[in-house]
Each structure stands twice: as structure tokens, then as C-alpha cells.
Structure 1
Amino acid sequence: MNDTAAPCIMVARSPQQVEGFAGTVVLDEPGIDGPLAGLLSALNWAAEAGADRVLTLPCDMPFLPADLLARLEQALAPDVDVALAASDGRLHPICALWRTAVVPTLVQRAGAGQLSLRGLAEAVGCVAVDWPVEEGDPFININTAEDLAAAEAALR
């Protein structure tokens, strides 16, 4: 891993979802449903920028571990195309380091209606990197007001 900052983009279904965002916005690949649309757009953007991998992160997981990229990158062996975060026995395929080489398989699977990130990861070869949850699961996501209240309480 090098010490230079990698470019950061936001992938969204429509520009209205990110109004006011000052950074680079890439729109979901049209014609594909679900998270594979965003992943394909991010991978294509990265490949055009000369990168060979993409770290994907969701916008609703505020407690991601600081060592996420380093540990995923360390696990990304030459024969592995995806390193996935895991905790408490669960995979978190949206928190993953993907090689841009997965694009042909992604396109083929999406064309066949196979839209699962986990399924794609298994098809191209993946490794899970597990994080401890003793002090709380760093991969909890906040989708409701109740989730937010629970997260705020955990911070206190």
C-alpha cells in the first residue's frame, strides 16, 4: 500500500440523490438493478483512471474500522479478486476491495439476472477478513430512526 491518497467517488442512482455533494459523482450503470449497477460504474471509473482495484463502502455504516483498507488489501492475494469484510459470522460484501478484473464476470452475471454481490464475490474468488465485535460491531448500518438512536446510545 502506498501513502498517496486515492481518489474518492460517490456512486448514486440519480444526481438528485447527491445534490450539494462537491466531489466526483458517478451514476449507476443503466440497465442493471441493485448494487451491481453501482459496483460496475465504480470499477469502470477506476479502470479508466488507471486503478486496478476499488474499495466499496456504504453511506450508512458510520463505525467502519480505521484499518479496513489495510487489512482488506493485505488479504487480496494474487489468486483472489475480492476481499470482503466480515463480523460476527456475517459477510459484508458492500465493504470490500474489488479488483477491476471482475468486470467481465459482473457483466455476464448481471445479464443473467444474477445480481448478488456475494454471488459475484464467490464466482470470482474471494476471501473474508473478520473483525471482532467485542466492543460493538463496526459494520452496523443505520437505516431507521431506531438504528440511529441505538448507535447514539452506544457512543455514550
Structure 2
Amino acid sequence: MENRIKIQDVQPAAWKAMYGLSNYLTHTDLSKLHLELIKIRASQINGCAFCIDMHTKDALKNGETTQRIFLLNAWHDTDLFTDEEKTLLAMTEEITLISNDGLTTKTYNQAKLYFSEEVIAQIIMAVVIINSWNRIAISTQMPEKI
């Protein structure tokens, strides 16, 4: 990997603002496991090795199982995830892949069965924030920490 800029050094105010957004997530109604599912799945879609590495480790520390992490990219085809979690993951995929149609009416209506409007807004923000981090990590070629 080539040596690229470190945004935290070149644009510390922007970096601090991103951390502020991330800190917001710790004060939402989303569980730690829901947050990590969002972060891992979006990072898988975006191909962000740095974030996949970080958030799979965080998920394991918070009680997630290795089997569910191994099967996360195939969540459609397993019964290891609840219907609520599958809705959360569908939202994550649709918001991450915004150019494909964005958050569809079908998925949004499904989300309303499990989540309040406040939590739906928090899920959307969680997906937006991890997608931003993925773009920073990939653009600056942040190495995964092994």
C-alpha cells in the first residue's frame, strides 16, 4: 500500500466532527450488537478491510458469535438472524447501495413493524456514518489492524 494522507492530521476538525457523529451512536436506542451488524455489513459491501477487521472484533467483544459473523454476508439464506435483524440488515444494504433504489418502501414499511420512527432515524444515521468511515478508510488506504 502506498503512503497516503492521514485526514486526522491534515483536517483535524473534520476528523473530530466524524468522531462526534460516531459518539452520537453510543447514545441511541440501538443495541451494541445491532450497531456492529450494521457496521460489519456495510463495510463488507464497501470492501473496507480496516472497518471489517475493527467491527468484527468489536462484535465478538460484545457477545456476537463467530458463526453469525461468518454468515453475515448470506443473512438472507440463514435462520441465524431474527426477522428484526433481517430488517435492519436489509435497511443497511439498501442505504449503502443507495444508487440501486435506496431504502425501498417495502423495507421501510417492514422496519415500522419493529422500530419506532426515532429508531428508524437512528438506523439510517448509523448506516450513513459507517459508510462515511468506509470511504475515508478506503480513500486513504488505512491498513487493517491484525
- TM-score calculated relative to the size of structure 1: 0.24
Tell me which protein shows more helix as a share of its residues: 2
- TM-score calculated relative to the size of structure 2: 0.25
Which structure would you say has the larger RCO, counting Cα contacts within 8 Å and 6 or more residues apart? Answer: 2
Tell me which protein shows more strand as a share of its residues: 1
